[in-house]
Amino acid sequence: MTDAVLDQLRDLGVDYELVLCDPELADTAQFCEAYGFSMDDSANAIVVAGKADPPVFAMCLVLADSRLDVNKVVRKKLGVRKCSFATADQTIEMTGMQIGGVTPFGTTSPLPLWIDARVM
């Protein structure tokens, strides 16, 4: 999926730094420690799934040290009665990426992107 991510970054004219990561460091705290990034400068892209027929999905971008309020905020925004984190299989299907390496760029399916204001 790296090619799709890089292609979209180039298409958008986004300046970026490519960091090749050890897949064993999918945990954000471990990643930050190993690569010298601050948790304050890191964010997580999390795919959520609303229980509906068909299911509804969105991607949420939150600071690395924040918790995503799936049961209240996300559920309400999705307009569903029940909501959860997407499963690993759903995440791969919607993004083409594995949990721990999800980015808003280069996804295989268009997803609404909700960015926590603290990320900005």
pLDDT at 2 over 80: no
For 32-63, the pLDDT digits (tens) are 999 999 998 999 999 999 999 999 999 999 99
Provide the CB-side half-sphere exposure for 105 (13 A, CA): 15
Kindly report the pTM of this predicted structure.
0.89
Contact predicate 90/68, CB 8 Å: no
* Residue located via tokens 């292609």: 7
pLDDT value of residue 60: 97
CATH topology classification for 2-119 = YbaK protein (3.90.960)
**26 CB contacts (<8 Å, ≥6 apart)?**
98, 99, 100, 101
pLDDT value of residue 1: 54
pLDDT value of residue 62: 95
pLDDT value of residue 102: 93
Kindly state the average pLDDT of the residues 105-115. Answer: 94
Report in angstroms the alpha-carbon separations of 117 from 13, 63, 66: 23, 9, 12
- Distance, C-alpha 72 to centroid of its chain: 19
